[in-house]
Amino acid sequence: MKQFIVDAFTEKIFGGNPAAVCVVENFPPEELMQNIARENNLSETAFVTKEKNFYRLKWFTPAAEIDFCGHATLAAAFVILTQVEKNLSAVEFETLSGKFFVERKGKFFEMNLPAYVPKKIPVTEAMQAAVRAKISEAYLARDLLMVLDSAETVENLSPDFDALKNLDGLTQAVTAADKNFDCVSRVFAPKLKIAEDPVTGSTHCLIAPYWSERLGKKKIVARQASARGGILHCEIFGARVKISGSAVLFAVADLKI
């Protein structure tokens, strides 16, 4: 089995969010895919298999299969379009969350994804205790989004990860306005055995619509302020969001299984 390690949402190795991409003729048994993801110990391992004119795509964290992952989708598209079928300029994926279309545009890979609708919910004491910062607003879709007062608060945050597990949402994100970008964020996923996700495409399907509405603009440039860091170019159009970023190849391996 051929496996690629790709750093997504970055133009340099050791930046962005690393994902493993396994290109297979047919999906292996679920137990084996889960074991590979656990062995890789990255936030996501993607599995792709060709079917006629599209690819089926699955994502696994070290803990479980999930229904949507942005950076591993970008990584999978990067592998298909630069390593497997170099003559293509776009690829279509069939996933648990429907069809995703990714187009290569120069150094960027543009994903066409479903947008989450931010639903405002009350800020609770449990949220503020878990985040260890003042929260001005909170929104819930698949993930929980908490709005803080400044980029500096987001960057310096030291949350209580055990307490985060008890909050709503698959992941828990914090965000604020940023002087050099439209917004800054960090994303935590202790429920998936991931303390902090370096760059999270799927959660920006919630973050980007929020900032689009707040700022009154369709195009959002977002910075994720993890230790590795990453930049996401987002565009809202109706119930969809285009998220673009670069990617680089770190390693290629033959798995002995």
Whole-angstrom Cα distance, residue 134 to residue 125? 10
**Are residues 233 and 249 located together in one domain of the fold?**
no
**Are residues 145 and 216 located together in one domain of the fold?**
yes
**Are residues 63 and 18 located together in one domain of the fold?**
yes
Range of the domain at 248: 2-112+243-254
Catalytic residue among 31, 39, 44, 85: 44
**Are residues 102 and 8 located together in one domain of the fold?**
yes
**Are residues 51 and 138 located together in one domain of the fold?**
no
**Are residues 20 and 123 located together in one domain of the fold?**
no
What CATH number has the domain bearing residue 88?
Answer: 3.10.310.10
Number of domains into which the chain is organized: 2
**Are residues 82 and 160 located together in one domain of the fold?**
no
Q: How many CB atoms lie within 10 A of CB 256?
A: 5
Whole-angstrom Cα distance, residue 129 to residue 234? 31
**Residue 108, token pair as written in the block:** 């960027």
**Are residues 71 and 134 located together in one domain of the fold?**
no
Eight-class DSSP state of 62: S
> Annotated catalytic, 39?
no
Whole-angstrom Cα distance, residue 220 to residue 222? 6
**pTM (2 d.p.):** 0.89
**Are residues 177 and 230 located together in one domain of the fold?**
yes
Whole-angstrom Cα distance, residue 80 to residue 202? 20
**Are residues 226 and 154 located together in one domain of the fold?**
yes
Q: What is the pLDDT of residue 164?
A: 97
**Are residues 53 and 13 located together in one domain of the fold?**
yes
Q: What is the pLDDT of residue 193?
A: 86
**Are residues 104 and 125 located together in one domain of the fold?**
no
List the chain pLDDT tens, one digit each, 257 residues: 999 999 999 999 999 999 999 999 999 999 999 999 999 999 999 999 999 899 999 999 998 999 999 999 999 999 999 999 999 999 999 999 889 999 999 999 999 999 998 899 999 999 999 999 999 999 999 999 999 999 999 999 999 999 999 999 999 999 999 999 999 999 999 998 889 999 999 999 999 999 999 999 999 999 999 999 999 999 999 899 999 999 999 999 999 98
